[in-house]
Structure 1
Amino acid sequence: MKHDTSLVATTVPRMAMSLEKVAIALDVSPNSVLKMVEEGLLPRPRVWGRRKLWRVVEIDAALAEWPTDGDEEGEAGEPGRWVAVR
């Protein structure tokens, strides 16, 4: 039986994304995503074998910690390194 992947794509929530998909979702280049990870603005990916995947909920949580446009650096505090809540 052949599966209809278009139905699956619309009904199954995405839990993780590849580097390329994170870059597309953030409208930046893959190198920019890697730089954000290096700077602590985004979480490090999860690893399964040679695959690296970013959890969508962790990306969302990290973005929620970024300052909003117009915030003065001293006013909202320095953005810290993103840390997963366990």
Structure 2
Amino acid sequence: MGEADFSRPIPRLGLNRAEVAVAIGVSVGTVDQMVEEGFLPRPKKWHTRKVWLVPEIVAAMAGWPEDGILKQGEG
């Protein structure tokens, strides 16, 4: 196998906590709160490193309620 070709953009498969915060426009503390409240998935862990998988973040956000629309049983 030869050397990797980095002339093309490499898709991000995972993000750290700070990157998740930047990606969704919130603080890192809010990321922690969203995980605890179930609005974001828990990160994957390898040794001491925690990584959120991008597809899992997208799927979680797709399930959030739309602005101005109440969930069934609310209101």
TM-score using structure 1 length: 0.74
Q: Aligned partners of 1:36 and 1:46: how far apart in 2?
A: 16
State the 1:73 CA deviation: 3.1
Aligned to 2:46: 48
Name stretches of at least 5 consecutive residues in structure 1 with no aligned partner: 79-86
Runs of 4+ in 1 over 2 A off after TM superposition: none
Query: Does 2:24 correspond to 1:16?
Result: no
State the 1:72 CA deviation: 1.7
Aligned to 1:26: 24
Q: Aligned partners of 1:40 and 1:69: how far apart in 2?
A: 18
Query: Does 2:60 correspond to 1:62?
Result: yes
Cα offsets for 1:8-60 (capped at 9, x unmatched): 6xx11100000000000011110100000000110000001100000000000
Name stretches of at least 5 consecutive residues in structure 2 with no aligned partner: none
Q: Aligned partners of 2:67 and 2:61: how far apart in 1?
A: 13
Q: Aligned partners of 1:73 and 1:57: how far apart in 2?
A: 24
Which structure has greater helix proportion? Answer: 1
TM-score using structure 2 length: 0.84
Aligned residue identity for 1:50: T
Q: Aligned partners of 2:57 and 2:69: how far apart in 1?
A: 21
